[in-house]
Amino acid sequence: MRCHRCRKPANVEIRRSRTAYCAGCYPDWFRQQVQDRIDHERMFRRDERVLVAVSGGKDSLALWHTLLQLGYQADGMYIRLGIGDYSRRSQAKSEAFAERHGLTLHQVDLKDDHGFTVPDLLDTRSGKPCAACGTVKRYHFNKVAADLGYPVVATGHNLDDEAATLLGNVVHWNTDYLGRQGPVLESTHPRLVRKVKPLYRLSERETAAYAIISRIDYILEECPMAKGAKSLAYKDLLNALEEEQPGAKHRFLVGFLKEGRAAVRTGGFDQAADLHECARCGQPTTGDLCAYCRMADRGRRKAVLKDAKYGRQPIAGPELQADR
């Protein structure tokens, strides 16, 4: 195949549009796709500081790199989740990227700062590890952004992620989640920052191609705690469909955003219903204590028991210290 722009031999094929690009033209095409989505969805302005949620993987680092190439004011945010060697390697990739490009990378250490790690949340009422991890990430990305004055948080969710999430919500008819799904989640409280997904129309393969061509060093392995996650099964189903019908994932997601989401929202969904501040941490919630604070209490208790079992000095959060 030939490059759609310069007619040189192509390196990356975009099957849904029947086009292809060489390594020289592809990064410009990729960045233009991101810019188009930022403009079309009014995600953020040139004068706004953006906090990029960084994991050390291809999607978040490719997004951070792209925003910098497009001239945006983008800093990074990494959470030390405590998932063994995987967390140590992903942290190293994130720090190396920031150092190489002279960027600011804010970090939160769950164990040192909050007294527990994501593995401590296993076998608690918080649910499966991916759900608990998602709660941790959303909480801290929002809190750090709000505390430091960033008006918007950008995540590296790609087309594959969003289509799999949509399929899961349709299978289980999670209408509240369907009503919230989209590339922009507006702020509905002074302590909630706007959340955006500039890569939502770009596939995982396309993002990986950008990272490779741009020589971005990212962690290759998947999180070991994601094994058996339903989202992976949904991705496999969609990948099989995509193989037979190129563009199926794109049509599924974009069709929902254009037609289906509005129908779901007519069912009385109210994103800002009864939000007030958590009695402990001050973050927006619908109850007295937010989901993160409740979950963190359970994680700390398990961490204390584990530390006692192995004779380690526990690192207790302020709530456990107050009990002594």
CA distance 37 to 14: 17
Residues found in the chain: 324
Q: How many contiguous H segments (helices) and E segments (strands) does the chain have?
A: 12, 10
Q: What is the pLDDT of residues 75-120, one digit of tens each?
A: 999 999 999 999 999 999 999 999 999 999 999 999 999 999 999 8
**Banded model confidence at residue 307, pLDDT cuts 50, 70, 90:** low
Pairing of strands 19-21, 12-14: antiparallel
Domains and CATH numbers, the chain: 24-317 (3.40.50.620)
Q: Which distant-in-sequence residues (6+ apart) come within 8 Å of 259 by Cβ?
A: none
- Given CA atoms 157, 162, 168, 173 in this order, what sign does their dihedral have? positive
Residue 230 near residue 219, CB atoms below 8 Å: no
Residue 142 near residue 192, CB atoms below 8 Å: yes
**Rounded-to-10 torsion of CA 252, 258, 260, 265:** 140
Q: H/E element holding 13?
A: strand 12-14
pLDDT tops 80 at residue 320: no
CA distance 221 to 111: 23
Q: What is the pLDDT of residues 150-168, one digit of tens each?
A: 999 999 999 999 999 999 9
pLDDT at residue 2 in the model: 96
pLDDT tops 60 at residue 321: no
**Banded model confidence at residue 169, pLDDT cuts 50, 70, 90:** very high
Beta bridge partners of 76: 52, 105
pLDDT tops 50 at residue 149: yes
What pTM value is reported for the model?
A: 0.89
